[in-house]
Structure 1
């Protein structure tokens, strides 16, 4: 008798729970719809979100979407996709009813910010004069190394020996009273026959002024025979700064230990606004 009563109580409890849950789900509504682009094509993978409850879904390949089990109330539905204008609508959901919506999304023609593209040549693409012809470094068969102005300025080189530390195979062999430096490469000294300025031999008994240099070009090894009566270790070509057809200049001051100071001035521009004559003055 007791077991029969327990079975009846369990049955009624299950039946009550089932009726309660069914009525609870029956009180919810549904929102469904379709989304198309302005040209009438289905818009797939569009985000559809109810802002108040943070519930959402995405459209399928047919542009359709469904949101189930929504409590009765007012909502803001949002549709968004990259490249399409976002849309918002105020909707009302009622119990036991299905709300059907249709959206048409237009392309978002936002103007992009200005994009500036700059280009620069690598060292291998720049022309050098040490080959006696304006040839790109990558096209030269000789072993050539160049040091550009930005390297000389960043390292604040004072002497030529400071710059050649960036070049393997060339070294400082000796100095004379701090007023002369003798460089060497591959066992051969770089005397006045092996040092050039803008392609012309110059007397290297006096150290060159580094602030006046645009770049340093070095040709290594026996290829230096290209310049005639030279030692086989290589040659150095110092390229000085050239006049420019724009007005400008620099004023620098270097201060170091042991009372070292070195002001330098670099001025350039046009002669009387001429397009054919320009000047450049370097001094220190």
Structure 2
């Protein structure tokens, strides 16, 4: 039985190493992600919110309740070769002072980006404000939580400016779209060093989404990655085969995850919890 078949079959001894919560642009509290992991029969789950570790404490407590190993993680936004590149960090210390201050700087940049997006949308004749975006979330944001483009997309759908989440990104929010804003980003190399400094293992996220394997190869060669996300909801068999070969070539740990964000307008992005998994043996490789 090959890896793809295993991931669709028995989930015992499996882990989903890429999920998001309300701490960034996910739809559910961290504890609910953990509960769903238990429901799906997983052994472990990583919480990897964008530029924040605010959801980890709640997830760790829920892990004790549901008997799920929770991997403290993060997903850092970087820039290389003119593209947004995401770097996952596993087993980071969620109380590491310097790391927390660095993440706070990234969230401040994200907030400035959001204001610039809103301004562009208003200049396009759309009656949108950040206050409306926050109100649409339906709850007060905690101090270390942040607004992401999916939240803005939700409001665009509510206003009738887009048919659904995909339409909102295609028209306004994706790279090159009408209201796209390119904020200053750190490099993947810097993100790796930040993660290592906080005691974690850096992993290149969903390389197939960048559409440029030569860029991916250059990033890997310049950066201190421990692993590469071979298995992802948006990777097909061809991508998996290419990145398995790349992992072997560079001696990288093979990781994978659903990139679960929850459901918006009834559609789950990118995949459901447990839809993409790897063996829990990977956890030992990341920690070693």
**TMscore range, shorter length:** under 0.3
Structure number with bigger Rg: 1
Structure 2 length normalisation: TM-score? Answer: 0.17
Q: Which structure dedicates a bigger proportion of its chain to helix?
A: 2
Structure 1 length normalisation: TM-score? Answer: 0.17
**Higher RCO (CA < 8 A, seq sep 6+):** 2
